[in-house]
Structure 1
Amino acid sequence: MNKLIFAAAMALAAASSAQAAAIRGLANTGASAGLIDNNYQLNGKSSFVTANDAAFPFPHWSANSALSRWIMPTALQGESFNHTSPGTYTWHLGFDLSGFDVASAAFSGRFAADNTATAYLNGHAIGLTSGFGENDWRQLSANNFFVAGVNSLDFVVTNYAYGAGNPTGLRVEFSTSHVTAVPEPEAFAMLLAGLLLVGAAARRRQS
């Protein structure tokens, strides 16, 4: 009986090493303190974070919160772009799933953009948003298209042409995420040993 209990404990230890965890690297825009967002890269450079909720483009943009803030191409809040033709801005967020079972990965959240944006996970479209006010948030979610190693989450923002007062920006909030770690070889060995001991104990009890 003691061996049976020990075997069960080893099997439980092996199983617990593969419990789900939050996906590291999925950061909300502007969540870290300061006016620079190093998580979201625009043309290989860090993004700038809006600071003054009382200045343009607020209140047209949804209000910043403790969870997320709007990010912009430049440090000048409300700077006007694309006066004569639409512009495209691709923000990139990378996260690493090395050592995790990508088939178990998933996340959900929401995003908004001025004017529109499509979200791509490793080149696959997973969401579309077309506004920047409080009622313009759209769902952002994925439960496939993940890859082993470094993953790319890209937000391709289109800013329509307008003569003046034409800022652009992106806002992203993740609400949930999870992924299961791949157990180390030692954990598999413990699980196998535990199952063998359980089977051997069961056969002895039947004989």
Structure 2
Amino acid sequence: MKKLALVVAMGLASLNANADVIAGLYNTGAGLSAGQQDTNYALSSATTTVGSFGYVAANGSFPIGPWLENTATSSWLTPTQNQGDSLDPTADGVYTWSTTFDLTGFNASTASFSAQFAADNSAIAYLNGTQIGTANGYREWSAFSATSSNFVAGINTLTFVLTNQALATGNPTGLRVEFISSDVTAVAAVPEPSEYALMIAGLGLMGLIARRKNAA
């Protein structure tokens, strides 16, 4: 009887969804060396000529010093290979960094994440077009997060719109993003008809045994 109950319980449990971290959320520069391009973050700009992706900045060189120092967890990305390039001398520069992740096979209404970012000079974070945070400096982290209402089924797009204030000289720019936690629930697999039949038969047998015991 106990073994049968265990089998049925395991069958029912298999119908439940499983929680998991959100795959595809990458910290900027994660696992890359200085000078490499981070292809997880696409880059575009309406004001400055840039490549398709940014470059990982190096500790020990300007502008890291005023900027938060890189760690093994995340690094700064800059729009040009020379991280100290002075950009946007006469007008504010606008740089759009974006990354995507796929929630196919997961319940988007259960998703969430918390993270932090920094920017020179400032940035606004958007998830699927909804603003979820702002960063106003490069010396300290700013928190941002997303809850279930911000996510969609399938492909999700996380965008950081960065503004580099105009300055004649010594005006680099960069973005740094670091995820702290994330969670999402997998969509429960649809059982095969034979699995349903087995569980129903097991429940029926348990009921029959219980009735016989009561009758005895």
TM over 0.5: yes
Partner in structure 2 of residue 22 of structure 1: 21
Partner in structure 2 of residue 180 of structure 1: 185
Give the letter for the 2:20 counterpart: A
CA distance in 1 between partners of 2:193 and 2:157 (Å):
30
SS in structure 1 of the partner of residue 12 of structure 2? helix
Partner in structure 2 of residue 118 of structure 1: 124
CA distance in 1 between partners of 2:184 and 2:192 (Å):
18
SS in structure 2 of the partner of residue 198 of structure 1? helix
Structure possessing the higher radius of gyration over alpha carbons: 2
Displacement, 1:137? 0.8
* 141-150 or 123-132, larger mean C-alpha shift: 141-150
CA distance in 2 between partners of 1:203 and 1:20 (Å):
35
Match 1:102 to one of 88, 91, 108? 108
CA displacement, residues 58-106 of structure 1 (integer Å, 9 cap, x when unaligned): 2110000000000011101111111111011000010000010001111
Match 1:152 to one of 140, 143, 157? 157
Task: Provide runs of 4+ in structure 1 moved above 4 Å.
Answer: 187-193
How is 1:36-47 mapped onto 2 (pairs within 5 angstroms)? Answer: 36-43=37-44, 45-47=52-54
Unaligned runs of 5+ in 2: 45-50
CA distance in 2 between partners of 1:171 and 1:160 (Å):
17
Say whether residues 1:49 and 2:56 are aligned partners: yes
Task: Name the structure, 1 or 2, with higher relative contact order (CA <8 Å, separation 6+).
Answer: 1
Displacement, 1:5? 2.7
SS in structure 2 of the partner of residue 153 of structure 1? strand
- The answer (yes or no) to whether the contact 1:115–1:132 under 8 Å persists in 2 is yes
Match 1:141 to one of 112, 136, 145? 145
SS in structure 2 of the partner of residue 14 of structure 1? coil
- The answer (yes or no) to whether the contact 1:14–1:187 under 8 Å persists in 2 is no
Root-mean-square deviation over aligned CA pairs:
2.1
CA displacement, residues 11-66 of structure 1 (integer Å, 9 cap, x when unaligned): 12333xx2111111100001122321010000281211102x21111211000000
* 22-31 or 183-192, larger mean C-alpha shift: 183-192
Partner in structure 2 of residue 33 of structure 1: 32
Give the letter for the 1:89 counterpart: Y
CA displacement, residues 110-140 of structure 1 (integer Å, 9 cap, x when unaligned): 000000000000000000010001xx21112
Say whether residues 1:167 and 2:172 are aligned partners: yes
Give the letter for the 1:147 counterpart: V
- The answer (yes or no) to whether the contact 2:29–2:74 under 8 Å persists in 1 is yes
CA displacement, residues 135-166 of structure 1 (integer Å, 9 cap, x when unaligned): x2111211131001100000000000111000
Flag the 1:19–1:165 CA change in 2: closer, same or farther, 3 A. Answer: same
- The answer (yes or no) to whether the contact 1:11–1:191 under 8 Å persists in 2 is no
Residue identity (%): 43
State the TM-score, normalized to the length of structure 1.
0.89
CA distance in 1 between partners of 2:193 and 2:103 (Å):
20
CA distance in 2 between partners of 1:191 and 1:139 (Å):
46
Give the letter for the 2:207 counterpart: A
- The answer (yes or no) to whether the contact 2:18–2:188 under 8 Å persists in 1 is no
CA distance in 1 between partners of 2:198 and 2:153 (Å):
28
State the TM-score, normalized to the length of structure 2.
0.86
SS in structure 2 of the partner of residue 91 of structure 1? strand
